Amino acid sequence: MAEVLAVNALAKSFGEIRAVDGINFSVNEGEMFGIVGPDGAGKTTMFRMLCGIMRPSAGDASIFGHSILDSQEEIKKQIGYFSQRFTLYGDLTVDENMEFFAEIHDVRDYRNRREELLEFTRLTPFRGRLADRLSGGMKQKLALACTLIHRPRIIFLDEPTTGVDPVSRMDFWRILSSLLKTRITIVMSTPYMDEAERCGRIALMDKGSLMAVDTPSNIKKMLDGEVLEIVCTGVRAARQSLVGVEGVLDVQAFGDRLNVVVKSGAAGHPAVESALRSSGAEITGWRVISPSLENVFISLITRAA
């Protein structure tokens, strides 16, 4: 596959704060690439640099062979940017918002494209509705349609499903999956690990740095240890009893069970069992399960601390 985005030692500082710390990665044509990390990881700052809104403190990136440092006008014709605060005009209708964004991108003959996108996003029945009267999920779909109106070759989506209900999230992902069939390249950021699983490759980001770049399945193999799923009584007290136990890297409670990440099965199992029994918990089920991306992410952060 052809490489369409190459990021080289890209960095951004705000005074003494290093928001993006010399990151490197590349994205291929037609790929869905995910940047995964919590709030404050540097995802938005990175996107703003790649889209020409903010100048890097150091490093560079190229999009379709054009440097973001000196070829922004050429790059802007080929990219779409869906920001966290994508601004729709509430007193304009769906049709009028799309017309406005077409004119911003100097797209004169936009009507056929608008019809395609309205059908694609299932917004045709609502084309005359004011944007302020749309649901949250519909607003996200309209924002995506406006991002696509000028036929970009690569789109940057900054946490596009944050604050959207589960059904609308599923519908939005259906649209993204369909987009990939057109060979468009999608680079998106998300704090949700279940969304990361849908990407071809992902980069785990924290405190301005990339901790890993690979497929979700390969990143799961990076866990230094194993995950125990333990069904027991008194989950809250049981979880607290494992905090600080030697060999235990992380403990998460899910309903009537715990997910416990241990360094080594041979050394970790007895210590975990002893701590649980001391807390008064009755163990009714115990098995080793496959690690999740969240397990790996927490493990990498702990390792870097």
Assess whether pLDDT exceeds 80 at residue 264: no
What single DSSP character describes residue 1? -
Domain identity same for 109 and 135: yes
- What is the pLDDT confidence band of residue 168, given thresholds at 50, 70 and 90? confident
Domain end position, chosen among 203, 219, 235: 219
- The CATH number for 272's domain is 3.30.70.100
The pLDDT tens digits of the residues spanning 86-123 come to 788 999 999 999 999 999 999 989 999 999 999 999 99
How far apart CA 79 and CA 148 sit, in angstroms, is 9
Task: Provide, rounded to the nearest whole percent, the portion of the chain with pLDDT above 70.
Answer: 97
Determine whether 114 is exposed, middle or buried from the number of CB atoms within 10 Å of its CB (0-12, 13-18, 19+).
buried
| Residue 265 pLDDT | 63
Which token pair is 116? 């395609």
CA dist 6 → 23, 26, 59, 63, 66 (Å): 10, 4, 11, 7, 10
Task: Provide, rounded to the nearest whole percent, the portion of the chain with pLDDT above 90.
Answer: 67
Read off the pLDDT of each residue in 20-48 and give the average, rounded to a whole number: 95
**Cα atoms in the 13 Å half-sphere on the side-chain side of 96:** 11
> What is the span of the domain harbouring residue 241?
226-304
- What is the pLDDT confidence band of residue 56, given thresholds at 50, 70 and 90? very high
Find out whether 79 and 63 touch, Cβ atoms under 8 Å: yes
Domain identity same for 238 and 135: no
Assess whether pLDDT exceeds 80 at residue 60: yes
Domain end position, chosen among 195, 219, 243: 219
Domain identity same for 36 and 165: yes
User: Coil, strand or helix: which one is 79?
Assistant: strand
Assess whether pLDDT exceeds 70 at residue 143: yes
| Residue 305 pLDDT | 63
Task: Tally the domains of the chain.
Answer: 2
Q: What is the mean pLDDT of the chain?
A: 91
Domain identity same for 156 and 10: yes
- What is the pLDDT confidence band of residue 270, given thresholds at 50, 70 and 90? confident
Domain identity same for 233 and 293: yes
Considering only the C-alpha atoms of the chain, give the largest distance between any 2 of them, rounded to a whole number of Å.
72
- The CATH number for 90's domain is 3.40.50.300
Residues constituting the chain: 305
Domain end position, chosen among 198, 219, 240: 219
Domain identity same for 255 and 215: no
| Residue 19 pLDDT | 96
Find out whether 186 and 167 touch, Cβ atoms under 8 Å: no
Assess whether pLDDT exceeds 90 at residue 269: no
The pLDDT tens digits of the residues spanning 178-230 come to 999 999 999 999 998 989 999 999 999 999 999 999 999 999 999 888 899 99
| 150 CB-near residues (< 8 Å, 6+ apart) | 77, 80, 101, 102, 105, 106, 107
